[in-house]
Structure 1
Amino acid sequence: MNDFCPIPEVDKHGEFLQKVVELLFKNIVFTTRQDKVVLWQSPEQLEEQFDFGLKQNGDGQEKLLSLLRSTIKFSVKTGHPYFINQLFSGLDPYGLAGQWLTDTLNASVYTYEVAPVFTLMEKHVMREVCSMVGPDWGDGLFCPGGSFGNGTAMNLARYHKFPDTKAKGTYHLPKLVLFASEECHYSIHKFAAFLGIGEQNVISVKTDKVGQIIPESLEDKIQEKLNDGSVPFMVVATLGTTVRGAFDPIDDIADICKKYDLWLHIDAAWGGGLIFSQKHRSRLNGIERANSIIINPHKLLAVPQQCSMLLVRDKEILHKCYSRGAEYLFQKDKHYDRSYDMGDKYLQCGRKCDVFKFWFMWRAKVCRT
């Protein structure tokens, strides 16, 4: 089959898509405790049993259905009642419905004219979540994962201290250092390397017996680096460390950041979901004092992968740091208010909609516990 046209036709594709949906319902969506979480195969075994080859000619629909069955057969059923791994699990039915609609519309969320509903929806969701952090918070981004969000925040922190890096680069900068828990997520070191800060300039701060940053150790490290001529610019705290789930003492850390004029970023990719809990919200006390926060609704809130939010207190910094004003997208003569074109504050251009499944689940569940 050589079906090059990307336009669905009822006569040609209707029955096929119905079979796909039935296959997904039966084998993934409505799994039970009697089903296996995974039919484990070694990489060598899977290479032998699965048809990974690519051909010059397309396969027919029956063969394609067979490939779908094989993919399901050998994949991990993350919605299975017994699955829990890497801080996420479950398959929320409302999130799934939102994901399906998002994928079917296939919108790219950079201007209002191509994604009007999703553009306004992002504004509403971002505004609401920011208000839950604190009254001074007012902007943010949806990110392709918490790691990307951490890296974006690191760049914002450097821009905040040295705004001319956007135009001039980093050749003229002093030796910059940032501070993070010895149990911080590895993305901090990865993005330090990516941004030209250097892994060695991520200064590890000692933690206590439950994995929380020791504030006295943080201040000692800052003083040590000031004495050797380095320029501290940022502290990364964590609310819900990856291995032990530790919550750093945010108020103590914020006091130190204020004393030394340092950007405070909070990696709350996991623990940030508690902002929706009346019972456990107090675990996040002090987050309003940060400069930026990462929250991953696809973790504690079980929104389908992926859904990650970077929130910032400074309402202007995203545009100042990242805007470029490409006129082929962000024309000055549009027939609506151009401030609705959010794409210019993003590092990405083409961007999948991550907000709808989150918004749809929020509308379905409403109550906070």
Structure 2
Amino acid sequence: MRQDINNWFISPNGENTEYVTDFFSEIIAQLIDNSSNRSQEELVPLLREDFSFINELEEPHDLAQILQKLSTIYDNSMNASSVGYIGQMDSIPNIGAIVGDLITASINNNMLANEMSPFLTWLEQELIQVFCRWFGFDKRAGGVMTSGGTLANIQALLVARNIKLNSKDGNVYNSSKQPVFFASEHCHSSILKAGMFLGIGTENVIKVKTDNRGKISIDCLRSDIDRSLQEGKMPFAIVSTFGTTNSGSLDEVDEIQSICNQYHLWHHIDAVYGGAMTLSENQKHICPSFEHADSVSFNPQKWMFVSKTCSILIFKNNKQFQNSFRIAAPYTSETNAINLGEFGIQGSRHTSVLKLWLSVYLIGKKSFGKIIDLNMKITKSFTAFVLQNEHLELYTKPELNILLFRPKKRVGQSEKEYKKSLSDFQNYLYHKYIYISLIPWKNEMWLKCIFLNPYFDDNELKKLKEIIEAYFE
């Protein structure tokens, strides 16, 4: 049995160092080979193979069998590393993040409590302070890391409810009036899920109409708040979005902040995507005054190329956040140390701070800014191409690196024929190893592309233009 155990674990006594070294060498070699040869692979595989092997779980398997199965998994996974994968907010992970995930798995610390992750607990708090400064907050700010933007947004609104409704125990039934909060009609789905988590229901998440650019209408927001007050309801928060998922629209965050101040409402900014603009000295001028908001969510797993999942939730007043949300863990030692599991929705959770720190340490804030600048330059160039092409139309000039466009509808073409032609155009690009998503937006269908991959440069843009031009010849 001892030998079998040495085939499955890294011996803390160094008994199987040679075997483990060979094992990981083979695994890493396959990983690098796969990642280095993805440009001409399927972008979104159709899962045509036989996957019955996943049920072969009764007996152990050796390295050769594992490598064979991993090859199948690689071949049937979404190919976000390809420069042609420009249809979603997923991209190639940086090598610091990959290493961080590997090390995190090997040390297997638990972010629930300080005694289970002493250094990483300290590192998370220190790194959050760095991001607080980058977003303009002062030393009173702080926060937590979460497993993705959905949990960050939900927790922000849970804290908003606890503070604004004075209900740390989360019992909204003690309220004499119906609590409601406001968000864009194009807000992320996590905001509606928050309505369920908060116990107020999705119907009490008031979805505010947007203008033709996809931004919250300030006039409609004021009207919705006033109407809710007239109806005897209790508004407690507004969610603004700095980079919507479908169109990359940027709400007028500073104006919304003024409304929050006027009505004494909590202001949460969903900057999960667009918050990365603060990393670039050339782009940060479009950023709002994040530091005036009560909370901000941001995902390094997107425009910082950190492997999933990795999200940060910042609170302007960290002590207020902690006092309103902390639930002590009775199974940890009673010390003055911070136990992060007491301040988050999750108790035990994956350690995402190490891969984030390694990413920033490897690349540096200035270089992240340069990559963002490149992405924005490519977006601007492609926008000009669409505007100049007689066969294409643009929804609106993009504010981020997300762009909606489509072939123009031909004279006499029915709506059904037009929708099919959009799908045909998408399929044509796909067979040229370019994935652009086809999405509903403002009751119409549009093609969405996101210039996120750092390898998508002027040469790749030239290829894309030529491929599109060839379609209309």
How does the TM-score come out when normalised to structure 2? Answer: 0.71
- The residue number in structure 1 matching 2:290 is 287
Out of 338, 341, 352, the position equivalent to 2:339 is 341
- The residue number in structure 2 matching 1:70 is 72
Give the secondary-structure state (helix, strand or coil) at the position aligned to 1:167.
Answer: coil
What is the Cα deviation at residue 32 of structure 1? 4.8
- The residue number in structure 2 matching 1:121 is 123
- The residue number in structure 2 matching 1:17 is 24
- The residue number in structure 1 matching 2:423 is none
- The residue number in structure 2 matching 1:110 is 112
Superposition RMSD in Å: 2.1
* CA offsets 1:151-195 (integer angstroms, 9 cap, x no match): 1011111001123x3337222122111110111111111221232
CA–CA distance in 2 between the matches of 1:4 and 1:190? Answer: 44
- The residue number in structure 2 matching 1:353 is 351
What is the Cα deviation at residue 106 of structure 1? 1.7
Matched-pair contact (CA < 8 Å) for 2:147–2:350:
no
Matched-pair contact (CA < 8 Å) for 1:267–1:294:
yes
What is the Cα deviation at residue 287 of structure 1? 1.6
- The residue number in structure 1 matching 2:363 is 365
- The residue number in structure 1 matching 2:158 is 155
Once the two structures are overlaid, the 10-residue window that deviates more, 281-290 or 305-314, is 281-290
What is the Cα deviation at residue 245 of structure 1? 0.3
- Which entry has the higher C-alpha Rg, 1 or 2? 2
Amino acid paired to 2:288: N
Matched-pair contact (CA < 8 Å) for 1:31–1:79:
no
CA–CA distance in 1 between the matches of 2:80 and 2:141? Answer: 34
What is the Cα deviation at residue 150 of structure 1? 0.7
What stretches of structure 2 of length at least 5 have no aligned partner?
A: 11-15, 371-473
Once the two structures are overlaid, the 10-residue window that deviates more, 265-274 or 359-368, is 359-368
Out of 222, 226, 235, the position equivalent to 1:223 is 226
Amino acid paired to 1:150: N
* CA offsets 1:178-216 (integer angstroms, 9 cap, x no match): 110111111111221232111111111111111111111
CA–CA distance in 2 between the matches of 1:31 and 1:321? Answer: 50
CA–CA distance in 2 between the matches of 1:104 and 1:77? Answer: 26
What is the Cα deviation at residue 57 of structure 1? 2.1
Matched-pair contact (CA < 8 Å) for 1:37–1:83:
no
CA–CA distance in 1 between the matches of 2:79 and 2:105? Answer: 20
- The residue number in structure 1 matching 2:253 is 250
Matches within 5 A, 1:320-339: 320-332=323-335, 338-339=336-337
Out of 10, 29, 34, the position equivalent to 1:27 is 34
CA–CA distance in 1 between the matches of 2:225 and 2:66? Answer: 58
Matched-pair contact (CA < 8 Å) for 2:184–2:209:
yes
> Given the superposition, is the C-alpha separation of residues 73 and 314 from structure 1 closer, same or farther in structure 2, using an over 3 Å criterion?
same
1:51 equivalent to 2:49? Answer no
Give the secondary-structure state (helix, strand or coil) at the position aligned to 2:291.
Answer: helix
Give the secondary-structure state (helix, strand or coil) at the position aligned to 1:234.
Answer: strand
Out of 227, 235, 239, the position equivalent to 1:236 is 239
Once the two structures are overlaid, the 10-residue window that deviates more, 273-282 or 342-351, is 342-351
What is the Cα deviation at residue 231 of structure 1? 0.6
Matched-pair contact (CA < 8 Å) for 1:254–1:289:
yes
1:167 equivalent to 2:174? Answer no
Out of 41, 47, 72, the position equivalent to 2:46 is 41
Matches within 5 A, 1:140-219: 140-163=143-166, 165-167=167-169, 169-173=171-175, 174-219=177-222
Q: Percent identity?
A: 28
What is the Cα deviation at residue 317 of structure 1? 2.8
> Given the superposition, is the C-alpha separation of residues 178 and 58 from structure 1 closer, same or farther in structure 2, using an over 3 Å criterion?
same
Q: How many residues align?
A: 358
CA–CA distance in 2 between the matches of 1:49 and 1:351? Answer: 29
Matched-pair contact (CA < 8 Å) for 1:39–1:73:
no
> Given the superposition, is the C-alpha separation of residues 132 and 16 from structure 1 closer, same or farther in structure 2, using an over 3 Å criterion?
closer
CA–CA distance in 1 between the matches of 2:356 and 2:229? Answer: 43
- The residue number in structure 2 matching 1:335 is none
| Segments ≥4 residues shifted beyond 6 Å | none
CA–CA distance in 2 between the matches of 1:152 and 1:158? Answer: 10
Matches within 5 A, 1:263-278: 263-278=266-281
Matches within 5 A, 1:307-322: 307-322=310-325
Give the secondary-structure state (helix, strand or coil) at the position aligned to 1:339.
Answer: coil
What stretches of structure 1 of length at least 5 have no aligned partner?
A: 333-337
CA–CA distance in 2 between the matches of 1:97 and 1:49? Answer: 28
What is the Cα deviation at residue 70 of structure 1? 1.1
Amino acid paired to 2:104: T
CA–CA distance in 2 between the matches of 1:82 and 1:238? Answer: 27
Once the two structures are overlaid, the 10-residue window that deviates more, 182-191 or 59-68, is 59-68
* CA offsets 1:36-86 (integer angstroms, 9 cap, x no match): 0447225xx34x355222432222332222111111121123222222343
